[in-house]
Chains A and B, each alone.
Chain A
Amino acid sequence: MALYAVILMYEIPCLINYNCQQANDLRCIIPTKPRCVSSYRMKRVKGDEDACSSSSEGPTESCKKVRKLQPSKEKHQEEEEETDVDLCEFGFDWALLPQEILLNIFQFLPLLDRAYASQVCRGWNQAFHMPELWRCFEFELNQPASSYLKATHPDLIKQIIKRHSNHLQYVSFKVDSSTESAEAACDILSQLVNCSLKTLGLISTARPSFMELPKSHFISALTVVFVNSKSLSSLKIDDTPVDDPSLKVLVANNSDTLRMLKMSSCPHVSPAGILCVADQCHGLRELALNYHLLSDELLLALSSEKHVHLEHLRIDVVSENPGQHFHTIRKSSWDAMLRHSPKFNLVMYFFLYEDEFGPFFREEVPITHLYFGRSVSKDVLGRVGLHCPRLVELVVCANGLRPLDEELIRIAKRCTQLSAIGLGECEVSCSAFVEFVKMCGRRLSQLSIMEEVLIPDHKYNLDEIHWEVSKHLGRVWFPDMMPTW
């Protein structure tokens, strides 16, 4: 597409003939059929790696015609007979390209190329500013000295705030580790007064820098968006100092539209705060939060009749201080949740010390995806086998020094949905592993096992296990390797 732009930029101006009336006429002639972008993309010229499509709709037919213009123009110059391209019958030239088509082309161009193209002529400059091109924007903010992140140019930011803030709908902010960048993001946020955002993401690409901001500053910027948007559907504010009152503002203004809320590691939110969201936002399908916000009441609120089916619930279990005591969730609450949303995914990430697992996996839990970020004991894994019948994916980053043989086999036996497993610093004897794979069979679609995990025994050595496991999986399988240099 970049090449396309170049062609357009350098060859067209000479042919430009401002005739808007004609362009308007053409607009009626060129059919705008809904079609599949893929078929359009297949026809695109070479030269682009960066292209992104933003639209599911676009005039394929018209695009084809646009492409035909290129040869036709050359032919025209060579004064050859031209019958192929119907547009030429109208004495068409590039300046008459209908805005819809231009828009469509522009949607495939990276911003920088669009900016270059906008300097070609007035028409293109107008196209550059079309609202459709500014619905989605990702602000990248950094301090060049502290990060490898590429920053959005400040002038561009000013321009967007001045001319396009009312067009923005899907906005994300990426910041590096510096507080200044998070501050800059808040400054932009607080200027978004006349826009109605549908999605907002605040993303720390390195350390969570929003957490270092004065809470009041952050909250006031965020509530600007909450108050003005009225139709937020997706909100990702992990690792930020968002608090209960600001969530209330969110709910007061966006309760009908909110579908997704990601707020892992937001220490200023209380269980009551999130409960208020769940009570009011009945369309909420996706929720990510930390374990300390999870309560029986929350689960019951999410499974109330008024509430749509929940699709994803992600819970991070992090210990703030060693030896922390964790509350338990009643089995009846999970059961209610499951009755209400039988297909929901419960994703749990554990980052606990081994001795903090006491309250977990004592009763049946409808977990589907389970991640143990730190060492987890054999005992806990044994309980997982007993109490997680819905388990689909299991990752064990580390375990003690004894092999996990019985635990894995129990999991294979009782977790009949299990289809993916990853093992890091653990040990499993080769024969137990083969047994595990044999029991799970071909439903194991992902099997990421570090080579060091597998302990050769009297039955299998490392070469043999590769064959044996491949046989049971029905496909070629190898353990994951790390360089031994």
Chain B
Amino acid sequence: MVVNSVHWFRKGLRLHDNPALQEALNSADTVRCVYILDPWFAGSANVGINRWRFLLESLEDLDSSLRKLDSRLFVVRGQPANVFPSLFKEWNVTRLTFEYDSEPYGKERDGAIIKMAQEFGVETIVRNSHTLYNLDRIVEMNNGSPPLTFKRFQALVNRLELPMKPLPTITQEQMGSCRTKIADNHDEHYSVPSLEELGFKTQGLDPAVWKGGESEALERLNKHLDRKAWVASFERARINMCSLIASPTGLSPYLRFGCLSCRVFYYNLRELYMKLRKNCSPPLSLFGQLLWREFFYAAGTNNPNFDRMEGNPICVQIPWDHNPEALAKWAEGSTGFPWIDAIMTQLRQEGWIHHLARHAVACFLTRGDLWISWESGMRVFEELLLDADWSVNAGSWMWLSCSAFFQQFFHCYCPVGFGRRTDPSGDYIRRYIPKLKDYPNRYIYEPWRAPESVQKAANCIVGVDYPKPMINHAEGSRLNIERMKQVYQQLSHYRGLNNGSNLPLMGCRLMAPSSTILLVISLRAVMLGSDGQSEWFLLPTTHSSCHELHDCHDDLLSRAAVVCPFCHLTDHVVEVLWLPRYRTSMLSPLQGIDICMYAGVGTSCFN
């Protein structure tokens, strides 16, 4: 029987470690590598020019690698659901292969395509290679819902076997055995489009800082490992001015588009570590970045509302402001805080910023200063950030805005001090905001505090040449810390007030041992109370996180009483755990409700 394969590239834009592509080649008579792209859609999509350029460069690179194997990339114009039927017929396709997409939108799209392929009698083969682990397996190990703390996630990963070993690159022989005739007018129909074709103006476009493609990715991987080997240290590097600048060894956009296989990265790091550390098996912290990515993928995989607040079961509902003008100032980098503006400028120009810079601007937009929804920030990142992935982007934003994952929020990044700590000289600012280049170091992070003479001498008057700060940070952060407290207090459904009595929470006193915290977990309800000796909480989380806490600290929870006075209330309320008091540190968003005005309990200034 003749086997005509089509490999459908989406992410995973590479020939190395591409199991689905290997399946396509496996004893096939012809193989066509396809990328489907809708040029009419491109202009309107919420994706910026840098991201498109990166994608097109990656496709070009893929095409040129395939050429070396006497094949080509077929960039098909249209929408997958529309183009596949005609491709199936035209090429007499019998096998369709693609990489597994764990995200809800992708799963839905792929489900429809698989069904359609079935109707055409096309076999589909799907292989996981975008993530290290099988995410469904992680969710399953966590009793059916994703782990919501990174610690829990690490604990689960520790129990898993090592990720699958990467597969070798496609070879000439493999490709040769299923050579497909390339039509003379191939370029006319299937060439990689240009930015112009997608409707972008390229005049005056700066050269790309991050060049897309597998070849570039592999080169960078080598440099990355060389540098690690040379430094011979796997500790977290101290951040400084250099860390903020796009590094020639940075890999995150390549992982995002799958130009680099995360498993190749993983195993290379592992081997290097074992070589330098005499076969010590590496700690999980070595793979920090990769694991964060995995963590957010796992959190988002079964949650179609992962990228919004409403209807998202893991997201705390916060009454953010709608403020389009303030949002625009932030997005354009004209907040008047050079540190914030420089980061946003770098993001817009180059498509990448350091993770601490992400913390800074995300905190500024949301809980720190502007009190604008993380969803708006996420959309801006989606447009500009090369490595922005649906899951990772939404997950990071929820994390940074303290909307999920049990983040503590006692501290806001200062838009002046944080930058100054990182780069005391202010060279980073001068690089991205040339207007401020003549400011002395002392004032470069807060030019509005410079005396007029200094402003004049620097040829940049604040309020004229450079905006005044859009907010008083001290005041803004003071207010917002109170606001956050209110949110979490609100979650507590604190209604011990109807009878005006001082009885805490719901008028019921649970007889908790004095050194314990009673933790009740429900989907939505959060309650908190204190009777002087003990405190109790209801956390906004799901069934599994209860197990999560349980598992995390099995030893400490061995005497957990698992009888819940509320259990019969709902399907979601599952367990009550007696926890030693120390657990507050993890639960710190709920600690220190000091505006329990009706009962007057608590004074903690955490949060």
Q: Which residues of A contact B (CB under 8 A)?
A: 1, 36-39, 41-57, 107, 132, 135-136, 142, 145-150, 169-170, 174, 176-177, 198-199, 201, 203-208, 233-234, 236, 238-239, 259-260, 262, 265, 285-286, 311-312, 314, 316, 318-319, 322, 345, 347, 349, 351-352, 368-371, 373-375, 393, 395, 397-398, 400-401, 420, 422, 424-425, 445-448, 450-452, 456, 461-463, 473, 475-478, 480-485
A177 vs B591: C-alpha distance in the bound complex, in angstroms?
A: 26
By beta carbon, the residue of chain B nearest A450 is B411
Known interface pairs A43-B568, A422-B606; 8 further A-B residue pairs with C-beta atoms within 8 A, sorted by A's residue number: A46-B568, A46-B570, A46-B571, A205-B319, A262-B595, A401-B424, A425-B413, A446-B584
Residue of B399, B483, B567, B597 with most partner-chain A CB within 10 A: B597
Given contacts A136-B497, A368-B603, contact A208 B411 (CB under 8 A): no
Q: How far is the CA of A149 from the CA of B355 in the complex (A)?
A: 30
- Which one, A208, A395, A461, A484, contacts B235 given CB within 8 A? A461
Nearest-neighbour CB distance to chain B for A430, whole angstroms, equals 12
Is the pair B319, A149 in contact by a Cβ cutoff of 8 Å?
yes
Question: Quick one: given A401-B421, A425-B421, are A351 and B292 in contact (CB under 8 Å)?
Answer: no
Q: What separation, in Å, do the CA atoms of A318 and B479 have in the docked complex?
A: 11
Q: By the criterion CB–CB under 8 Å, are B600 and A260 in contact?
A: yes
Residue pair B322, A145 in contact (C-beta under 8 Å): yes
Listed stretches B95-103, B265-273, B282-290; interface member: B282-290
Pick the most buried of B322, B411, B481, B524: most chain A CB atoms within 10 A of its CB.
B411
Chain B residues, Cβ within 8 Å of A259? 600
Which stretch, B67-75, B197-205, B454-462, B500-508, touches the partner chain A? B500-508
Query: B277 to nearest A CB, angstroms?
Result: 13
- Residue in A36, A44, A50, A135 whose beta carbon sits within 8 Å of that of B509 in the complex: A36
In the complex, how many angstroms separate the beta carbon of B444 from the nearest chain A beta carbon? 16
Contacts of B410 in A (CB 8 A): 371, 395, 397, 422, 424, 448
- Indicate if the CB atoms of A41 and B506 lie closer than 8 Å: yes
8 contacts between A and B (CB under 8 A): A55-B498, A170-B497, A207-B321, A316-B478, A422-B408, A448-B408, A485-B289, A485-B396
B394 CB, min distance to chain A CBs, angstroms? 12
- Do the beta carbons of B507 and A56 come within 8 Å of each other? yes
What sequence of 0s and 1s flags, for each residue 535-574 of chain B, a beta carbon within 8 Å of any chain A beta carbon? 0000000000000000001001000000001111111110
Chain A, residue nearest B405 (CB): A483
B443 contacts the other chain (CB 8 A): no
Q: State the CA gap A205–B484 with chains docked (Å).
A: 9
Contacts A37-B506, A285-B600; is A371 near B605 (CB within 8 Å)?
A: yes
State whether A53 touches B289 (Cβ < 8 A): no
Q: Which of B235, B493, B606 contacts A446 (CB 8 A)?
A: B606
Establish whether residues A53 and B481, one from each chain, have CB atoms under 8 Å apart when the complex forms: no
Nearest chain-A residue to B283 (Cβ)? A463
Q: How far is the CA of A55 from the CA of B573 in the complex (A)?
A: 21
Can you list, as one digit per residue, whether each of B220-253 has a CB less than 8 Å from chain A (1) or not (0)? Answer: 0000000000000001100100000000000010
Which of A204, A347, A374, A447 contacts B417, CB < 8 Å?
A374
Grouping DSSP codes into helix (H, G, I), strand (E, B) and loop, the B interface class, with mixed when no group exceeds half, is loop
B302 close to chain A: CB less than 8 A: no
Contact yes or no, B606 A54, CB < 8 A: no
How far is A205 from B355 in the complex, measured between Cα atoms in Å? 29
Contact status A57-B499, CB under 8 Å:
yes
Q: Are B581 and A47 in contact (CB under 8 A)?
A: no
Q: Return B602 CB to nearest CB of chain A, in Å.
A: 9
Give which listed residue, A50, A347, A456, contacts B603 with CB less than 8 A. Answer: A347
Q: Are A206 and B553 in contact (CB under 8 A)?
A: no
A482 touches B359 (CB 8 A): yes
What is the minimal beta-carbon distance from B206 to any residue of chain A, in angstroms? Answer: 25
Q: How far is the CB of B479 from chain A (nearest CB, A)?
A: 6
A148 in contact with B318 (CB, 8 Å): yes
Q: Shortest Cβ distance from A318 into chain B, in angstroms?
A: 6
In the complex, chain B residues 571-589 whose Cβ is within 8 Å of any chain A Cβ:
571-573, 580-582, 584-585, 588
Q: How far is the CA of A205 from the CA of B235 in the complex (A)?
A: 42
The reply to whether the CB of B449 lies closer than 8 angstroms to some CB of chain A is: yes
Closest to A177 in B: B321
Contact A373 B603 (CB under 8 A): no
* Cross-chain contact A476 with B556 (CB below 8 angstroms): yes
Q: A36-B508, A38-B510, A445-B584 are in contact. Are A475 and B556 (CB under 8 A)?
A: yes
Contact A53 B495 (CB under 8 A): yes
Select the residue from A56, A174, A351, A352 with max chain B CB neighbours within 10 A.
A56
Residue of A nearest to B319 (CB): A149
What residues of chain B lie closer than 8 Å to A49, measured between beta carbons?
A: 522-525, 569-570, 572-573
CB atoms of A373 and B321 under 8 A apart: no
Q: Is the CB of A347 within 8 A of B474?
A: no
How far, in Å, is B599 (CB) from chain A's closest CB?
Answer: 9
Question: Does residue B371 face the partner (Cβ distance < 8 Å to A)?
Answer: yes
B194 part of interface (Cβ distance < 8 Å): no
Is B151 in contact with A478, judged by CB distance below 8 angstroms?
yes
Q: B504 → chain A, closest Cβ, in Å?
A: 10
CA of A483 to CA of B522 in the docked complex: distance in angstroms? 26
Give the complex CA separation of A47 and B48 in angstroms: 45
A314 and B413 contacting across the interface, CB-CB below 8 Å: no
B3 close to chain A: CB less than 8 A: no
Question: Chain A residues with Cβ under 8 A from B236's Cβ?
Answer: 451, 462
Query: Inside 8 A of B42's CB, which chain A residues have their CB?
Result: none
CB atoms of B322 and A169 under 8 A apart: no
Q: A440 CB to closest chain B CB, in angstroms?
A: 13
Interface centre among A176, A368, A420, A485 (most CB of B within 10 A): A485
User: Is B506 within 8 A of A52, CB to CB?
Assistant: yes
A73 to B455, CA, bound (A): 83
| Residues A146 and B321 in contact, CB atoms below 8 Å apart | yes
**Nearest 4 pairs between A and B by C-beta?**
A54-B498, A56-B507, A424-B411, A38-B508
Q: How far is the CA of A373 from the CA of B571 in the complex (A)?
A: 41
Q: Mark B375-408, 1 if CB is under 8 A from A, else 0.
A: 0000000000001000010011001100000001
Question: How far apart are A354's CB and chain B's nearest CB, in angstroms?
Answer: 9
Collect the chain B residues with CB atoms within 8 Å of residue A374's CB.
414, 417, 474
Q: Is the CB of B319 within 8 A of A55?
A: no
Confirm or deny: B475 has a beta carbon within 8 angstroms of a beta carbon on chain A: yes
Q: Mark B407-447, 1 if CB is under 8 A from A, else 0.
A: 01011111001100100100000000000000000000000
* Chain A minimum-CB-distance residue to B555: A476
Q: Which of B285, B408, B499 sits near A56, CB closer than 8 Å?
A: B499
Smallest Cβ-Cβ distance to B487: which chain A residue: A205
Given the complex of chains A and B, what is the CA–CA distance between A463 and B235 in angstroms? 10
Judging by beta carbons under 8 Å apart, are B588 and A485 in contact? Answer: no
Residue B309 interfacial (CB < 8 Å): yes
Docked Cα-Cα span, A400 to B478, in Å, equals 20
Residues of A close to B219: CB separation below 8 A: none
Report chain B residues within 8 Å CB of A50: 493, 524-525
Query: How far, in angstroms, from A52 to B597 measured CA to CA in the complex?
Result: 17
Determine whether the beta carbon of B359 is less than 8 Å from that of A234. no
Q: Are A311 and B600 in contact (CB under 8 A)?
A: yes
Closest chain-B Cβ to A211's Cβ sits at a distance in Å of: 11
**Cβ B570 vs Cβ A176 within 8 A:** no
Most buried by B among A233, A322, A420: A420
The verdict on B44 contacting chain A, using a C-beta distance below 8 Å, is: no
**Segment 295-325 of B: residues with Cβ below 8 Å from A:** 295-296, 309, 317-323
A485 touches B569 (CB 8 A): no
Q: Which of B285, B371, B412, B483 contacts A463 (CB 8 A)?
A: B285
Contacts of B296 on A, CB cut-off 8 Å? 483, 485
B40 within 8 A of A: no
For A136, list chain B residues within 8 Å (CB): 495, 497-498
Contact of A148 with B319 in the complex, beta carbons under 8 Å: yes
Contact B606 A206, beta carbon cutoff 8 Å:
no
> Quick one: which of B75-127 are within 8 Å of A by CB?
none
Which chain A residues lie closer than 8 Å to B585 at the CB level? 445-448, 477
Contact of A234 among B482, B588, B597 (CB under 8 A): B597
Contact between chains at A398 and B417 (CB < 8 Å): yes
In the complex formed, the residue of B with least CB distance to A145 is B322
A residues in contact with B509, CB < 8 Å? 36, 38
Are B481 and A373 interface neighbours, CB within 8 A?
yes
